[in-house]
Amino acid sequence: MGAKINKAAAGTANYVDERTGVGALVKFLSRKLFPDHWSFMLGEVALYSFVVLLLSGVFITAYFEPSMTFVTYDGPLETMQGVEMSKAFESTLHMSFEVPGGLLMRQIHHWAALMFTAAIVIHMARVFFTGAFRKPREINWLVGFTLMILSLAAGFTGYSLPDDVLSGNGLRIIDGVVKSIPILGSYISYWLFGGEFPGEILIPRLFTAHILLVPGLILALVALHLFLVFLHKHTQYPGGGRTHKNVVGLPLFPVYTAKAGGFFFVVFGIIAILAALFTINPVWNYGPYDPSPVSAGTQPDWYILFVDGALRLMPGWLGGFPLEWEIAGYTLSWNILVPAVIVPGIFFGILALYPWIEAWATGDRGEKHVLDRPRNAPTRTGIGVALISFYMILALEGSNDIIANLFHLSLNDLTWTFRIAIFVVPPLLFWITKRIALGLQRKDRELVLHGHETGRIVRHEHGEYIEVHEPLDEQELWLRVNYDNITPFEAPEEFNENGVRRGGMRWKRFKARLSRFYFEDRVEPVTPAEYAEAQHHHASYAASDEGLAEAEENADADKALDEGFAQLKKD
Ligand code: HEM
């Protein structure tokens, strides 16, 4: 049986190859090496949840009616009998209660969306904290960033489709945000909604964007993203023998093909279990959209929560001055513009351009294929933690009513706490994280120079007591010394040796300041000279019998480290 299957498979492959010549490409791709690390699976989770989104999306599209025409409900749901609603809402109820498997598919689709966005953000954090965005992957970072924005757009457009009271109010907020844009805002809002909000064309428009435009763009960009991963080769974590010029890993076929195939079903399975066990977006409890019944406890999906939180955080008045101005007949709403447009604009702008900002401060033009351990880039790690805390505070403020209710706190006190926290916590966490990273680097130096403590105390012939230290093995030594040692850029003197003023001094000084911010506090990796000195020191200990045996045992590891240093110097 097995032989028959093999023969049939070989025959089919031969048939296709003779007509397309694809065999050479398949051979090339299947031999491609990929490094291994659990964190590389995060991008895959995003990819597989997107596939689940497409599959479940096709199913529910068959039953959803993107229409804002009003009907009176007369389906099986008692609580909605006789209620006026749009066809979009009615078809969502129909799908949930009358189509076999419809509710499960809706739930699978929604849980997959939450998993997709979460996986993207965590994957992005992995890429950020390990410096995987450095040359030559800056463009792929930008492609990924666009995918992240598109995933927010996909989520938001989908969330709005059922036309329930929650999503309708979300759209109402977006309408307000758009209108806060000076001069253009009201025109953009009229254009989006085809007149005054909510109008009658919004759901069909959102539907087209949600099932065609946004997924089409995501598909195209995912293809480009993965092509670039292939082209650049995957990065690898530091370790024995890994340099910026090689790839240590396993071939795509059969190892990763088998793993990836299996992993898709694991992701699908987890989403299906979540969907089967945990209700999500029970729109029949909320009711159809109506602007009047907006209540406490209404939150958007997690990825949009920060906008809601930013709006709740912003006061309408500051020091007795209103933040809504009337200028030449136009209203300028700083209380909406700042939290919902300007701050997210700056936040996402920094994120999109981060690879270039850091490269500029570094001044390092080399390609980076070995990842940084977060501790070896203390400033970047601090920035990452500060950005995450900034987001978290906004998300918590977006749930301020729920927190206040749950913990019996005053909503106003909570809001004031978050108002202060947004200024205090991110810089504080930046500082703490950076100090922890520097501390860990110092510990690495200690370990490389003196080895691991063993708790074994030995007495020398002349009476001195020492603790025996166990040297690091080859892998660990590489891990702890193989990182870039970047010194801050220094601006040249303002005047050259002929007394002529150098051009672009302002930029150079700014660059020097930025570079100092990044690299002034740093712990340098152990140099070969320091290592030799430490060896020399240990040699005196080796004079004791116990030490001698130990030193012999460790000779191999020392040799490996020397080779490692030689290789690093060559790079
Ligand atoms: C639809 C969303 C996305 C999908 C499906 C996706 C998928 C993947 C996959 C499968 C990989 C290879 C495995 C890995 O390193 O995790 C990868 C690598 C990469 N991704 Fe994404 N990604 C997405 C979004 C993003 C975002 C938002 C960013 C950053 C802004 C990003 C930046 C990168 C970079 C720079 C690499 C190369 C990493 C390396 O070689 O170490 N991706 N992506």
Evaluate: CB of 222 within 6 angstroms of ligand 1.
yes
Q: How far is the CA of 233 from the centre of ligand 1 (A)?
A: 12
- State how far the Cα of 374 lies from the Cα of 128, in Å rounded to an integer: 9
pLDDT of residue 96: 97
User: Is the Cβ atom of 368 under 6 angstroms away from ligand 1?
Assistant: no
Which is nearest to 557 in space by CA: 482, 472, 478? 472
Nearest CA to ligand 1 atom 17: 43
Indicate if ligand 1 lies below 6 Å from the C-beta of 46.
yes
CB 519 within 8 A of CB 486: yes
* Nearest ligand 1 atom to alpha carbon 46: 5
pLDDT greater than 80 at residue 69: yes
As given in the structure block, the two tokens for residue 177 are 């945000």
CA 225 to centroid of ligand 1, rounded, Å: 7
| Average predicted confidence (pLDDT) for the chain | 91
Verify whether ligand 1 is closer than 6 Å to residue 134 (CB atom). Answer: no
pLDDT 10s digits, 351-373:
999 999 999 988 888 899 999 99
> For 374, which DSSP code?
G
As a whole number of angstroms, the distance between CA 236 and CA 233 comes to: 9
Distance CA 238, CA 481 (A): 9
pLDDT tens digits, 305-324 = 999 999 999 999 988 899 99
Whether 155 is in the pocket of ligand 1, judged by its Cβ within 6 Å, is no
Cα–Cα distance, 357 to 10 (Å, whole number): 51
Q: What is the pLDDT of residue 437?
A: 98
Mean pLDDT lowest among 179-188, 477-486, 513-522? 477-486
Cβ 120 under 6 angstroms from ligand 1 = yes
Residue-level pLDDT at 291: 78
Contact residues for 324 (Cβ-Cβ < 8 A; gap 6+): 316, 331, 332, 333, 334, 335
pLDDT tier at 298 (50, 70, 90 boundaries)?
confident
CA 22 to centroid of ligand 1, rounded, Å: 27
Nearest residue to 152 via CA among 286, 332, 351: 351
Q: How far is the CA of 519 from the centre of ligand 1 (A)?
A: 27
The pLDDT of residue 254 is 86
Q: Is 113 in the pocket of ligand 1 (CB under 6 A)?
A: no
CA of 17 to the centre of ligand 1 (A): 31
> Does the predicted TM-score (pTM) go above 0.85?
yes
Average pLDDT on 50-57 reads: 98
pLDDT reported for residue 27: 86
Separation of CA 123 and ligand 1 centre (Å)? 6
**CB of residue 272 inside a 6 A radius of ligand 1:** no
Whether 540 shows a pLDDT value over 70: the answer reads: no
Quick check: CB of 557 below 6 Å from ligand 1? no
Q: 48 C-alpha to center of ligand 1: Å? A: 13
Mutation pick for ligand 1 pocket among 228, 229, 231 (CB with most ligand atoms within 8 Å)? 229
- Asked whether the predicted pLDDT for residue 565 surpasses 80, the reply is no
- Distance between CA 189 and CA 207 in Å, rounded? 18
H or E element at residue 229 = helix 214-232
- State whether the beta carbon of 115 lies less than 6 angstroms from ligand 1: no
**Residue nearest atom 22 in ligand 1 by C-alpha distance:** 43
Instruction: For residues 512 and 524, give the distance between their C-alpha atoms in angstroms, rounded to a whole number.
Output: 19
Q: H or E segment at 385?
A: helix 378-398
Residue 525 has pLDDT above 80, yes or no: yes
